[in-house]
Amino acid sequence: MSLAIFDLDNTLLGDDSDYLWGRFLIEQGLVDEDAYERENQRFYDAYRAGTLDIQAFLNFMLQPLSAHPPARLLEWRARFLQDKIEPIILPEALALLARHRNAGDTLLIITATNRFITEPIAQRLDVPHLLATDIEFIDGRYTGRPLGTPCFQHGKVERLRAWLAETGRELAGSWFYSDSHNDLPLLDLVTHPVAVDPDQTLAQYARERGWPIISLRETCG
């Protein structure tokens, strides 16, 4: 039995859940459209370019959570999952998860996107383990501040190593599926790295090292 690790956005999903949450907030009139869209796009472009300031991004992305009571946030999140996430769940991603599940592998999603957004997505995908960027929660409300190490770039490796130590699992025979060059630190660590619909930088890196390159938007190889 091996550990099968999956990035979430643009890997198992056909889009970026963090970016779509920002679009959802705009559509619901919960944030200023022009200002939020401008910053949302700026951070998304920086992520794709590999220049994202993760702390600045999290300060921006998590702030709306601090402005509303959790009960209201949960109502909005349920609508977001139905309207924005359900349509971008890739059938081939479900098939890939099923193959690893049927092989007896341990399934884990590891994502920079915060736990508030991703926890119900992991549940929908029937993936029992999730490492995501955590959010501070004090006196019954989100503070809008990240908690602990953000699950991004080398932070994914740090968080995964801590999880392995805590659970007694190991990386021997492990798999990791990702679309992004931001995940190269973890892709270099596992036994079986797989580039999934990769960005240009990751595609080149994968070709140079002979890693499998697959698409979950067309066919899963």
> Which residues belong to the active site?
7, 9
The CB-based long-range contact list for 49-55 (8 Å cut-off, 24+ gap) reads: 50/181, 50/182, 50/201, 52/152, 52/182, 54/112, 54/150, 54/152, 54/153, 54/155, 55/146, 55/150
3-state SS assignment for residue 41: helix
3-state SS assignment for residue 24: helix
Joined together, the tokens standing for residue 47 give 């992520």
CA distance 220 to 89: 14
3-state SS assignment for residue 104: coil
* Residue 139 CA from chain centroid, whole number: 27
- Which secondary structure element, helix H or strand E, spans residue 54, and what is its range? helix 54-66
Residue with tokens 């910053």: 39
